[in-house]
Amino acid sequence: MMKTSYQTLLYYCYSPLANGEEFAAEHLEFCKSLNLVGRIIVADEGLNGTVSGTKESCRIYMNTVHADERFAKIDFKIDDVEEPSFIKMHCRYKSEIVHSGLKDPNVIDPNKETGTYLEPQEFLEMKDEEDVVILDVRSNYEHHLGRFKNAVTLDIENFRDFPSKINELAKFKDKKIVTYCTGGIKCEKASALLLKEGFKDVYQLHGGIIKYGKEAAGKDFDGQCYVFDNRVAVDVNTVNPTVIATCLNCGTKTNKMINCANPECNEHFNQCDACGEQLDGCCSVECQSHPLKRTYDGTGYYVKVPQPVMKA
Q: What angle do CA 231, 235, 238 make, to 5 degrees?
A: 160
Query: Rounded to an integer, what is the distance from CA 30 to the centroid of its chain?
Result: 24
Active site residue 181: yes
Separation CA 292–CA 263 (nearest Å): 7
Write out the H or E segment, with its range, that includes residue 60: helix 55-67
Q: What is the DSSP letter of 95?
A: S
Separation CA 269–CA 139 (nearest Å): 12
φ and ψ at residue 163, rounded to 5 degrees: -55, -35
Q: Which of 181, 187, 272, 275 is catalytic?
A: 181
Write out the H or E segment, with its range, that includes residue 80: strand 77-81
Active site residues: 181
